[in-house]
Structure 1
C-alpha cells in the first residue's frame, strides 16, 4: 500500500552510518546487520537517534554495484570513528512516499515516487558519469521496526528523494 506522494522542504539532518559497496541483490543480507552496529556505537557514546534507522543509496553503476550507507539520524553533528561515518542529508526539497508492506515488494514504491516526480515536472537530484548514477539523497527510513512488529503487512517505510532546487 502506498500513501499519496508529497513534496517537503527539509532542513539539514546529521547522521551516523556505515558505508558499503554491494550488489543490489545483497541489500537484504548486508545492510540490515549494520544497523545494530551503528546503534551500539551510539549507545556507547550516549548519542540519541534523531529518527528511525535508514538505508541511503548514494550511487549505482550499470553493473548493479551500489554505494550505500546504513545508519541513524542524529540531532547534532557528531564524529564517527572511520568505520562509523558522520554525514548529513542536505537541506532541500524532498519528494516522499510511505510504503506499507513487506520489504521485498518495496521497489513499486520507488517506481511510484519516480513517476510522481516526473508527472510534477520536477527532477531528482542526480548526476550520471562513466556509467554510474550518483543520487543526492535517495533514502528509505524504516518507520516500523520488524523486530517489534512481526507482521510484514504492517511494516512502514518512508522513501525520500532529494529534488533539484
Structure 2
C-alpha cells in the first residue's frame, strides 16, 4: 500500500542520458561505474542507487533519465558525472518486491492511487511529454548479493506538488 513520506534534500552524483525504452542500459549500467568512481575517492554511499526520470514521452519513445548514487555531502564531479541534490518534500512511495520488468504495473497502480487520493504530482505536461520534478526508482537490492531479479526490492518515490 502506498504511503506519503517527508524527505530531506539528498545530495548525489549522477549521469544523464536521453534514451528509449530499449536503451535503458546506456544510463542504468552506469550505476556501477559511479559507485566505483566514489570508492576510488573514498566517498561513502549514503543510500540506494536510483534512476531519476526527468522527462517521459512514451509516444515518441524518448526519456531523459539520470542514474544516481546518494552521498553524505556534495562532492565535485568530473567528466560526464555531475553533483546534484534531490529536492526535499512530500513523496508518495511504494516498495515492489520482484523483477524490475514488473514495475510498469506498480507505477500504474501508484499513479491511480494518487489520483484516487486527490494528490497532485510534481509534474507538468508539455507537447505530450511528462516533465517530473523528482520521480525515482531506488534499487534496494545489491545484484552482487542477490543475483535473481525476481527477489529484488525497488522503492518508487514520486514527489508531490
**Band the TM-score falls in, shorter-chain normalisation:** over 0.9
- Residue 31 of structure 1 aligns to a residue in which SS? helix
- Any idea what the Cα deviations from partners look like across 1:106-140, whole Å, max 9, x if unmatched? 11111111111111110111112233321011110
TM-score normalized by structure 1? 0.91
Q: What is the Cα-based RMSD across aligned positions, in Å?
A: 1.2
Counterparts of 1:6-155 in structure 2 under 5 Å? 6-27=3-24, 29-61=25-57, 62-155=59-152
Instruction: Give me the whole-angstrom Cα distance separating, in 2, the residues matched to 1:132 and 1:32.
Output: 21
- Cα pair 2:16 2:27 within 8 Å, conserved: no
Aligned length: 160
How far residue 141 of structure 1 moved from its aligned partner, in angstroms, is 0.4
Structure 1 segments unaligned to the other structure (5+ residues): none
How far residue 147 of structure 1 moved from its aligned partner, in angstroms, is 2.2
Instruction: State yes or no: 1:156 paired with 2:153.
Output: yes
TM-score normalized by structure 2? 0.94
Structure 2 segments unaligned to the other structure (5+ residues): none
Instruction: Give me the whole-angstrom Cα distance separating, in 1, the residues matched to 2:89 and 2:12.
Output: 16
- Any idea what the Cα deviations from partners look like across 1:1-33, whole Å, max 9, x if unmatched? xxx111001110111011111012222x32332
Instruction: Give me the whole-angstrom Cα distance separating, in 2, the residues matched to 1:115 and 1:131.
Output: 19
How far residue 80 of structure 1 moved from its aligned partner, in angstroms, is 1.3
- Residue 134 of structure 2 aligns to a residue in which SS? strand
Instruction: Give me the whole-angstrom Cα distance separating, in 2, the residues matched to 1:116 and 1:99.
Output: 15
